[in-house]
Structure 1
Amino acid sequence: MHSLWSLQHPTDPAMTCNIHRRVTGGDLNEAAALLAQLASGDDTLWPTWRWPALILDNGLEVDSLGGHGSVRYRVADVESHRVRFVFTSAGPFEGEHTFLIAQAEPGYVEWMHHLDITSSLPPRVMDLVVRLHDGLLEDLFDNAQARMAGRDVRPRPFTPGYSVLQRAYRLLERER
């Protein structure tokens, strides 16, 4: 995988491990409240201004089904500082992804997203999928950072090449 956040999976060479981290100001309880809003009507964490909404049939509850766009998964675990999703058979992906938050030091929270994934897609297509995932996660962490600081989100610009990739993705999602 050609991604700043991807590396060879530690136990399964067929899988990709993709890890995003961000440290924000604020306390862990405030971060937990933001994380708990995922896929709800009050969700201010998911970057819907640029990506398909995260929709779960029963909200952020274990066994709730849904996803964002054509990416489908099931909620496997929900704790105050951790949410884990498992990809379902309704798509070309296998594996799981997890959001974690932890106290970095007093007054700071570490946000982490860990993706373990393999796919039946051709490797070049999968590289593009992972690059799109990277953009979504960085937008989500921009939201987390802004919300934890009590300010509005200022979307960062995409590079011209990434803009084309993201627009193509949105067009494909609309056709589905």
Structure 2
Amino acid sequence: MGRSSRYHRPMHSLWSHPHPTDPAMTCSIHRRVTDGGLAEAAELLSQIASGDDTLWPTWRWPALLLDNGLEVDSLGGHGSVRYRVADIESHRVRFVFTSAGPFAGEHTFLIAQAEPGAVEWMHHLDISSSLRPWAMRQVIRLHDGLLEDLFDTAQARMAGRPVRPRPLSPGFALLQRAYRMLEREP
């Protein structure tokens, strides 16, 4: 296999798959069903990047900051990952990556009634990058960890329980610490 084909090889994980239409992109889908109602989940999602945000897992990850809060065209992101709020509906928020970083694509949070008393949370990421494949694999690993922490938080909040951070594998803990050190504000 030549170098250029390796460079564009999709980065796979438990949640990531080849993109259905673009071989240079990776598609990552995380899902979680929680207790609770759709209105409660919509309220929790609407608080993201606000002073009242209890959904984003800041206990382990850089905060999600948006210059105008959760409003269309707000700019921001978490750490060095930069994006813009593209559109908002009561059960959906879509972000697009900006040119202020190595990523192209978009990501979307969605919530839907799974059954009475249960809500399905979903995060869909379509991403490509100018990063080397080994670096992008680490980005995908970090993304997966952040999303699972966020869904752990949603599950706890929707059940009215405190968040209990799951333990990290030693290898992932080292990767996450390195990321936090690189993302530290000057």
In 2, Cα distance between the equivalents of 1:148 and 1:161? 30
The reply on whether 1:103 has 2:113 as its aligned counterpart is: yes
Question: C-alpha displacement at 1:174, in angstroms?
Answer: 1.6
Query: Does the aligned pair in 1 maintain the 2:12–2:26 contact within 8 Å?
Result: no
Instruction: Read off the aligned partner of 1:54 and give its amino acid letter.
Output: L
1:85-107 alpha-carbon deviations (Å, 9 max, x no partner): 00000000000000000000111
Could you say which residue in structure 2 is the equivalent of 1:142?
152
Match of 1:165, SS state, is: helix
Could you say which residue in structure 1 is the equivalent of 2:54?
44
In 2, Cα distance between the equivalents of 1:157 and 1:51? 14
In 1, Cα distance between the equivalents of 2:61 and 2:184? 12
Could you say which residue in structure 2 is the equivalent of 1:114?
124
Instruction: Read off the aligned partner of 2:77 and give its amino acid letter.
Output: G
Could you say which residue in structure 2 is the equivalent of 1:161?
171
Match of 2:184, SS state, is: helix
In 2, Cα distance between the equivalents of 1:133 and 1:95? 14
In 2, Cα distance between the equivalents of 1:121 and 1:23? 33
The reply on whether 1:64 has 2:57 as its aligned counterpart is: no
Could you say which residue in structure 1 is the equivalent of 2:134?
124
Could you say which residue in structure 2 is the equivalent of 1:4?
14
In 2, Cα distance between the equivalents of 1:97 and 1:19? 10
Structure 1: give runs of 5+ residues left out of the alignment. Answer: none
Could you say which residue in structure 2 is the equivalent of 1:174?
184
1:95-143 alpha-carbon deviations (Å, 9 max, x no partner): 0000000000111000000000000000110000000000000000000
Aligned residues: 176
Q: Percent identity?
A: 84
Q: TM-score, normalised to structure 2's length? A: 0.93
- Structure 1 runs (4+) deviating above 6 angstroms are none
Could you say which residue in structure 2 is the equivalent of 1:88?
98
Q: TM-score, normalised to structure 1's length? A: 0.99
In 2, Cα distance between the equivalents of 1:170 and 1:96? 23
In 1, Cα distance between the equivalents of 2:69 and 2:184? 23
Structure 2: give runs of 5+ residues left out of the alignment. Answer: 1-10
In 1, Cα distance between the equivalents of 2:182 and 2:165? 23
In 2, Cα distance between the equivalents of 1:160 and 1:3? 18
Query: Does the aligned pair in 1 maintain the 2:12–2:18 contact within 8 Å?
Result: no
In 2, Cα distance between the equivalents of 1:53 and 1:170? 11
Question: C-alpha displacement at 1:2, in angstroms?
Answer: 3.2
Match of 1:167, SS state, is: helix
Query: Cα RMSD between the aligned structures?
Result: 0.8
